Amino acid sequence: MKAVIRTRTYLLMACLTLLGACSAIKLGYNNSASFAHTYLTSKVDFDSEQSALLKTSLNKIVAWHRSAELPVLANELQNARQALAARNGVIRPVNADEVQQLNMAIRASLKRTAEEAAPLIAKNMLGLWPNQVSDIQKALEKSNTEYREERLMQNTDERVRESAERMKERFERWLGSLNPVQVKQIEAWAQSEIHWSQSRYDKRLERQQQFMTLVNKAANRQIDQVTLSREIARLLNAWQTPATVVERQQSEQRQKATIALIVDVLNSATAEQRNNAADRAAGWAKDFQILASNN
């Protein structure tokens, strides 16, 4: 058997695939388990038994998410629509507390999803064999090389520019074309954001090492499924629960900076931009409600 799980994020991605798609979300969500299975099997040479287990696991987590999380997310999006919409051309400023409330709701949803997915990921991992461990490590190293080339190898100006471009694209999906004030706000944020690149990469390596420890134990049958599931859930949620005081302070600083950026960009928006964002939130909420009702 020559199955290789490329990274610990693959099965999480599979659990979450297309949950944040755009207006075509209904089509994507309804086929998300199939899409995720196709994606994973294009990266991993699963045997028939592993492939069948993976497909069953993906269908289970998508079904759970449909009934448990989509109604919650639909409600949060409706609240966001109310806050974003311009009434009769009048824009009501948003504040950091409102943005943080949505942020915490999304984080809570991701945490619940990770905890639901962890036992299924553990079950798949316990199908690994010792000879597969080195292949997984090689896949992680390849992924890290690509990450370094994309995020760490450029000079400072290039890193700032690319970070700003990524963030501009995210805002434009909601607001439409940005105005010069908003572009400058994003560029200023990117100047600060790139200083976290190395520490994020270091944390990535640390968690990969922890994951590989679990892979070794699973492949050699040195860990039971309950313990493995608990450790996987901890790793999947580690980005939300910094382990040290310093890491917690850094995480809070980054969160505050990003929330401040969102507030600034939204409060610099035109009525048209705000209504674009409100319409997008309403569209997603409607799609989520329909999907949940079709469970």
Burial of 167 (0-12, 13-18, 19+ CB in 10 A): buried
pLDDT digits (tens, 9 = 90+) for 52-63: 998 999 999 999
Q: What is the arithmetic mean of pLDDT over 111-139? A: 88
Cα-based torsion angle of the residue sequence 275, 276, 277, 281 in order, rounded to the nearest 10 degrees: 90
Q: How many CB atoms lie within 10 A of CB 186?
A: 23
Asked if 260 and 159 touch (Cβ cutoff 8 Å), the reply is no
pLDDT band at 10 (very low <50, low <70, confident <90, very high): very low
Given a cut of 70, whether residue 5 has pLDDT beyond it is: no
> What's the CA gap between 277 and 256, in Å, rounded?
22
Would you list the DSSP string of 226-288?
Answer: HHHHHHHHHHHTGGGS-SSHHHHHHHHHHHHHHHHHHHHHHHT--HHHHHHHHHHHHHHHHHH
Task: Identify which of 78, 61, 84, 86 has the alpha carbon closest to the alpha carbon of residue 271.
Answer: 86
User: 87 - beta bridge partners?
Assistant: 90
pTM value? Answer: 0.81
Given a cut of 50, whether residue 162 has pLDDT beyond it is: yes
Tokens 């439409």, residue? 176
Q: How much is the mean pLDDT over the chain?
A: 86
> What's the CA gap between 155 and 284, in Å, rounded?
38
Q: What is the arithmetic mean of pLDDT over 122-135? A: 86
Rounded percentage of the chain residues whose pLDDT exceeds 70: 91
pLDDT digits (tens, 9 = 90+) for 251-267: 899 899 999 999 999 99
pLDDT digits (tens, 9 = 90+) for 164-207: 999 999 999 999 999 999 999 999 999 998 888 888 899 999 99
φ/ψ of 21, rounded to 5, equals -70, 175
Top mean-pLDDT range of 77-81, 243-247, 291-295: 77-81
> Which pLDDT belongs to residue 295?
63
> What's the CA gap between 245 and 253, in Å, rounded?
12
> What's the CA gap between 105 and 100, in Å, rounded?
9
pLDDT band at 44 (very low <50, low <70, confident <90, very high): low
φ/ψ of 268, rounded to 5, equals -100, 5
